[in-house]
A and B are shown apart, each in its own frame.
Chain A
Amino acid sequence: MSGSSLPVRIVLGARRARGSGARLLLFTLECALGIVGVVLAAAVAHWSGWLVPIAVLLYLLIVIPIALFCGFWQALIVSLSAVVAHSILNAGEPHLHARANPATDPANSVTLLIFVLVALVVSRLSARVTGHAREAESWGSQMHDLYELSRRTLKMNLHEEPGPQLAELVHEIFELEAVAVFDADLHDVYQAGYWAVDPQEMAQNVYYFETSDDDAETGLGRRVVRLGAVPVGSLLVRGETSPLTNNAIASLIAITFDRYRAFANESRIETERRTEQLRATVLDSLAHAYKTPLTAIRAASTGLGEMGHLSAGQAELVGLIDEQTGLLSELTTRLLTTARLDAGEVAIVAAPVGVGAMIEEVLASLRDRLASMKVSIELQDENLILCCDRQLLVMLLTQYIDNACKYSIFGTTITLRVELVNKEVIFSVNSYGPIIPMADRDRIFDRYYRSSNYSNRAPGTGIGLSVAKRVALIHGGYVWVTSDEIEGTTFFAAIPAQELKRCS
Chain B
Amino acid sequence: MTIQPEIRILVVDDESAIRRALRPPLVELGFQVSEASRGEEALQMLRAAVYDAVLLDVNMPGIGGVETLRRIRAFAPRLPILMLTVRDQEEEKVEALDLGADDYVTKPFSTRELIARIRAAVRRVKSPLRADDAPIEIGEIRLEPVRRLVTRRRQAVHLTRKEFDILHCLMSRAGRVVTYAKLLTAVWGADCREEVEYLRTFVRQLRKKIEDDPSNPQYLLTDVYVGYRFADAQMFQDAAETVGAENAEPDNAS
Contacts and interface: CB of A to CB of B under 8 A. Distances in A.
Interface of A: 291-300, 302-308, 322, 325-326, 329-330, 333, 336-337, 351-354, 356-357, 360-368, 385, 391, 394-395, 398-399, 402
A366 B252 CA distance: 7
A300 B21 CA distance: 5
Contacts of B203: 357
B254 A360 contact: no
B29 A307 contact: yes
Given A307-B28, A360-B204, A361-B224, A353 B22 contact: no
A304 B245 CA distance: 18
Nearest to B248: A368
Nearest to A329: B108
B17 A293 contact: yes
Interface in B214-244: 214-217, 222, 224-225
B112 A302 contact: yes
B110 A307 contact: no
B217 A299 contact: no
Contact of B251 (A291, A325, A330, A364): A364
B253 interface: yes
Contacts of A398: 253
A293 B17 CA distance: 7
Contacts, number: 117
Contact of B216 (A294, A357, A367): A367
A158 B96 CA distance: 53
Given A291-B107, A298-B110, A303 B18 contact: no
B86 A291 contact: yes
A295 B115 CA distance: 15
A325 B29 contact: no
Contact of A306 (B87, B108, B112, B245): B112
Contacts of A297: 21, 108
Interface of B: 15, 17-18, 20-22, 24-26, 28-29, 86-88, 107-115, 196-197, 200-201, 203-204, 214-217, 222, 224-225, 245, 248, 251-254
Given A333-B87, A364-B222, A295 B200 contact: no
A324 B204 CA distance: 34
24 contacts: A291-B86, A295-B18, A295-B107, A296-B20, A297-B21, A297-B108, A298-B108, A299-B18, A299-B114, A302-B25, A303-B21, A305-B112, A325-B108, A333-B254, A352-B197, A357-B200, A357-B201, A360-B204, A360-B214, A361-B222, A366-B253, A367-B248, A395-B254, A398-B253
A369 to B, nearest CB: 9
B252 to A, nearest CB: 6
Nearest to B207: A360
A326 B87 CA distance: 13
Residue among B113, B215, B248, B253 with the highest chain A CB neighbour number at 10 A? B253
Given A297-B21, A353-B197, 10 more contacts: A299-B22, A302-B25, A304-B25, A305-B112, A306-B28, A308-B28, A325-B108, A351-B196, A351-B197, A357-B203
A376 B113 CA distance: 32
Question: Secondary structure of the B side of the interface?
Answer: helix
B87 A391 contact: no
Contacts of A352: 197
Contacts of B18: 292, 295-296, 299
B88 A336 contact: yes
B222 A298 contact: no
B61 to A, nearest CB: 13
A467 to B, nearest CB: 10
Given A292-B15, A354-B204, A364-B222, A303 B111 contact: yes
A360 B205 CA distance: 12
A395 B253 contact: yes
B6 to A, nearest CB: 16
Nearest to A334: B254
B13 to A, nearest CB: 9
A360 B29 contact: no
Given A291-B86, A304-B25, A299 B197 contact: no
Nearest to A304: B25
Give 6 closest A-B pairs by Cβ, nearest first. Answer: A303-B25, A398-B253, A296-B17, A298-B108, A302-B110, A365-B251
Contacts of B204: 354, 356-357, 360
A133 to B, nearest CB: 78
A298 B111 CA distance: 8
Contacts of A395: 253-254
Contacts of B114: 299
A179 B137 CA distance: 95
A320 to B, nearest CB: 14
A295 B253 contact: no
B92 to A, nearest CB: 14
Contacts of A364: 215-217, 222, 251
A174 to B, nearest CB: 63
A418 to B, nearest CB: 15
A291 B108 contact: yes
Nearest to B196: A351
A296 B110 CA distance: 10
Contacts of A298: 108-110
Contacts of B20: 296
Given A307-B24, A360-B215, A395-B253, A295 B109 contact: yes
Contacts of A402: 253
Contacts of B29: 306-307
A395 B224 CA distance: 12
